[in-house]
Amino acid sequence: MRDYIQFYLNGKKQKVSGEKISSTLSDYLRYQKGLRGTKVVCAEGDCGACTVMVGDSDEKSYRSINSCIAMMALMDGKHIVTIEGLSQDGEPHEIQKAMVDNNGAQCGYCTPGFVMSLTDLYEQKTSVTEKNCRNFLTGNLCRCTGYGSIIDAALSVDPKKAKSLGALYSGLSIEKNTDAIEIKTPNFEFYCPASLKDAVELKKKYPDMRIISSATDLGVQINKDRFEPHRLIFLDKVPETHLLEVNENEVKIGARVHLSLIEKAYEGIEDEFSNFLNLFASPQIKNFGTLIGNVANASPIGDTLPFLSVMNAKVILVSTKGEREVLFKDFYLGYKKLDMLPEEMILSITIPRRSKNEILKLYKVSRRKDLDISCVNAAMKMTVTNGKIDSFAVAYGGVGPTVLRLPVLEKKMIGLDFDADNFRAQSHEIKNEITPMSDVRGSSEYRHLVAKNLFQRFFLEASKEVSL
Ligand SMILES: Cc1cc2nc3c(=O)[nH]c(=O)nc-3n(C[C@H](O)[C@H](O)[C@H](O)COP(=O)(O)OP(=O)(O)OC[C@H]3O[C@@H](n4cnc5c(N)ncnc54)[C@H](O)[C@@H]3O)c2cc1C
Ligand code: FES
Ligand code: FES
């Protein structure tokens, strides 16, 4: 049992203990280590100025994350590389050189974040096209330079010359830290158990203890003083939480699997979902944030929830009494109210795979296409045989206190002819099962209209796939 965390920072081993583990990674870098190349602008994961690269022994690769919302406590066993760690012997990295050569910075405040996100692009060995550059820069804002010259810089890098972080730190092998951590200070306790048995016992002992996953939700709440952490448990060393299994019938995803891995796992087996995840947040958020965090956060506009609902996913809860399975559609009891006891936690989720004759469409409607919170999101799944609808599932987010299935409408759709008149007629019924409110993202009337229009859009899109 350790009472400190240990990790590497730009190739050098570090130990941190006590209250310091509750600070953000960006504060640690800037104020404890004097690495002020990492900037903080928004402190809520939106602008990318704080982007750093993080590697660990499991993934054997590095990914970008937002250090402003990542708590230090979550860094055990990682190798953190900051903008200062990219250059070697005073020689800038090829990406840094390209930014200079292409006039990729004016005030320069955003620049380290851009360089780190482009490092991620090269690190993932993605083909360097303009589209991919734009995708990898979704989480980075520049207010002065404009994106043209930054993208020119990205495209001008010679991939053969751009050293990977593995090559830059070739002598370093990040050892796997499997031992448990317990850090107690007068104001803050942090537990990182090494087995599921220890994790459930701890949760039984302290039922009010909050589970922290990657803190892409919790970190924002902490920074904005909406949540003060006193006692946290982190399940990263529980092997079962890293499960990611794809078989013919279902996909099983553990609590600690981040969204970028899930996006990749679904590529080719369910492109509707992997393409949809492309619209979820930014690479920095998905490289760290988890699907289970999205589920447990229980936001009515959580983007993965409509998909999980129509796919009839099962949430696997665990406690000292063993495992308990809850159907996803029954998991939410009201606004942020879950069918989960205080001593329970989510271990994993099982998502059935779609059969070939099922048509699935996922929708996200937000003010901006990228890095925006949904106003309304939706998922619809259907089968049609000989021109008649024989199964129908629809779930909406952003139109009630939680993600909603529409059981009355679903029932009415079954047995109807698959035609425009029926979809138009039934779209008028949606209003009876949703209760959207008005807020900054859209009025109740607007949300009613969007829900109705998405339903009709589904008909138009499904028409191309239905064989009558
Ligand atoms: C800039 C930005 C953009 C975002 N964009 C989107 C978006 O496009 N769509 C969207 O839906 N969300 C978005 N989010 C929200 C967030 O990234 C997601 O909800 C993410 O999936 C949360 O995962 P996490 O691992 O970081 O959870 P955490 O923040 O660690 O935890 C979230 C909640 O889940 C609970 N929890 C975590 N693990 C467990 C467990 N095993 N058992 C029980 N409870 C648990 C925690 O106690 C907490 O209440 C965005 C956030 C930011 C900062
Ligand atoms: S400071 Fe804006 S994303 Fe971290
Ligand atoms: S150079 Fe000023 S914000 Fe990008």
171-175, 261-265, 397-401: which has the minimum mean pLDDT? 171-175
| Mean local confidence (pLDDT), 160-167 | 90
Best residue for ligand 2 mutational test, from 41, 141, 285, 287 (most atoms within 8 Å of Cβ) = 41
Q: Cα dist. 290→46, 215, 255, 256, 261 in Å?
A: 17, 9, 7, 6, 9
The alpha carbon of 278 and the centre of ligand 3 are apart by a number of angstroms equal to: 25
Ligand 3 atom closest to the Cα of residue 145 is 1
Classify residue 68 by its DSSP letter: T
Q: Cβ(216) to ligand 1 under 6 A?
A: yes
In whole angstroms, give the CA distance from residue 213 to residue 255. 8
- Examine the domain organization and report whether 253 and 147 are in the same domain: no
In sequence order, the 6+-apart residues with CB closer than 8 A to the CB of 83 are 35, 37, 38, 52, 112, 115, 116
Are β-strands 51-56 and 12-17 bridged in parallel, bridged antiparallel, or unpaired? unpaired
The alpha carbon of 104 and the centre of ligand 3 are apart by a number of angstroms equal to: 9
Q: How confident is the model at residue 6 (pLDDT cuts 50, 70, 90)?
A: very high
Residue 123: domain span: 94-162
- Residue given tokens 């990228």 in the structure block: 370
- 372 falls within a domain: yes
- Examine the domain organization and report whether 418 and 452 are in the same domain: yes
The alpha carbon of 370 and the centre of ligand 3 are apart by a number of angstroms equal to: 19
Are β-strands 181-184 and 189-192 bridged in parallel, bridged antiparallel, or unpaired? antiparallel
Give the pLDDT of residue 177: 83
- Considering the chain, what percentage of its residues have pLDDT values greater than 70? 100
Tell the residue nearest (CA) to atom 4 of ligand 3: 142
The alpha carbon of 210 and the centre of ligand 3 are apart by a number of angstroms equal to: 37
Q: Which of residues 162, 192, 218 is at a domain's end?
A: 162
Q: Cβ(103) to ligand 3 under 6 A?
A: no
- 433 falls within a domain: yes
Q: Cβ(107) to ligand 3 under 6 A?
A: yes
- 241 falls within a domain: no
- 3-state class of 231 per DSSP? strand
Best residue for ligand 2 mutational test, from 52, 65, 68 (most atoms within 8 Å of Cβ) = 68
Q: Which residues make beta-bridge pairs with 234?
A: 212
The alpha carbon of 299 and the centre of ligand 1 are apart by a number of angstroms equal to: 9
- 450 falls within a domain: yes
Q: What sign does the dihedral 66-71-73-74 (CA atoms) show?
A: negative
pLDDT at 234 over 90: yes
Q: Do the beta carbons of residue 192 and residue 201 sit within 8 Å? A: no
Give the pLDDT of residue 244: 98
- Examine the domain organization and report whether 178 and 37 are in the same domain: yes
Quote the distance between the C-alpha of residue 328 and its chain's center: 18
- Residue given tokens 């003083």 in the structure block: 225
Q: What is the token pair recorded at 141?
A: 């804002």
The alpha carbon of 283 and the centre of ligand 2 are apart by a number of angstroms equal to: 13
| Mean local confidence (pLDDT), 20-40 | 97
Over residues 283-301, the pLDDT tens digits come to 999 999 999 999 999 999 9
Give the pLDDT of residue 60: 72
Q: Tell me which amino acid residue 355 is.
A: S
- Residue given tokens 């994790």 in the structure block: 199
Q: Which of 198, 85, 219, 94 is nearest to 153 (CA)?
A: 94
Q: Cβ(217) to ligand 1 under 6 A?
A: yes
Q: Cα dist. 188→96, 121, 217 in Å?
A: 39, 37, 19
Q: What stretch of H or E contains 191?
A: strand 189-192
Over residues 41-54, the pLDDT tens digits come to 999 999 999 999 99
Give the pLDDT of residue 419: 96
Return the CATH number at 453: 3.30.390.50
- 242 falls within a domain: no
pLDDT at 184 over 70: yes
- 468 falls within a domain: no
Q: Which ligand is nearest to the CA of 116?
A: 2
- Examine the domain organization and report whether 205 and 59 are in the same domain: yes
The alpha carbon of 138 and the centre of ligand 2 are apart by a number of angstroms equal to: 13
Give the pLDDT of residue 225: 86
Q: How confident is the model at residue 468 (pLDDT cuts 50, 70, 90)?
A: low
Give the pLDDT of residue 331: 98
- 3-state class of 3 per DSSP? coil
Q: Which of residues 115, 143, 162 is at a domain's end?
A: 162
Q: Which of residues 162, 194, 214 is at a domain's end?
A: 162
| Mean local confidence (pLDDT), 31-40 | 98
Return the CATH number at 118: 1.10.150.120
Q: Which ligand is nearest to the CA of 111?
A: 3
Tell the residue nearest (CA) to atom 13 of ligand 1: 281
Domain count, the chain: 4
Best residue for ligand 1 mutational test, from 41, 297, 348, 373 (most atoms within 8 Å of Cβ) = 297
Neighbour count for residue 374 (Cβ, 10 Å): 23
- Examine the domain organization and report whether 223 and 197 are in the same domain: yes
pLDDT at 448 over 70: yes
The alpha carbon of 236 and the centre of ligand 1 are apart by a number of angstroms equal to: 15
- Examine the domain organization and report whether 230 and 125 are in the same domain: no
Return the CATH number at 29: 3.10.20.30
- Examine the domain organization and report whether 181 and 79 are in the same domain: yes
Strand ranges across the sheet with 4-9: 12-17, 4-9, 78-81, 51-56, 62-66
Q: What is the token pair recorded at 344?
A: 């329970």
Q: What is the token pair recorded at 381?
A: 């799944």
Ligand 3 atom closest to the Cα of residue 143 is 3
The alpha carbon of 22 and the centre of ligand 3 are apart by a number of angstroms equal to: 30
- Examine the domain organization and report whether 379 and 453 are in the same domain: yes
Q: Cα dist. 31→10, 49, 453 in Å?
A: 16, 16, 51
- Examine the domain organization and report whether 182 and 80 are in the same domain: yes
The alpha carbon of 119 and the centre of ligand 1 are apart by a number of angstroms equal to: 25
Best residue for ligand 1 mutational test, from 211, 263, 348, 373 (most atoms within 8 Å of Cβ) = 211
In sequence order, the 6+-apart residues with CB closer than 8 A to the CB of 468 are 384, 386, 387, 418
- Examine the domain organization and report whether 181 and 151 are in the same domain: no
Return the CATH number at 286: 3.30.465.10
Residues in the chain: 468
- Examine the domain organization and report whether 99 and 77 are in the same domain: no
Over residues 133-142, the pLDDT tens digits come to 999 999 999 9
Over residues 383-425, the pLDDT tens digits come to 999 999 999 999 999 999 999 999 999 999 999 999 999 999 9
Ligand 2 atom closest to the Cα of residue 50 is 4
- Examine the domain organization and report whether 188 and 69 are in the same domain: yes
Ligand 1 atom closest to the Cα of residue 301 is 11
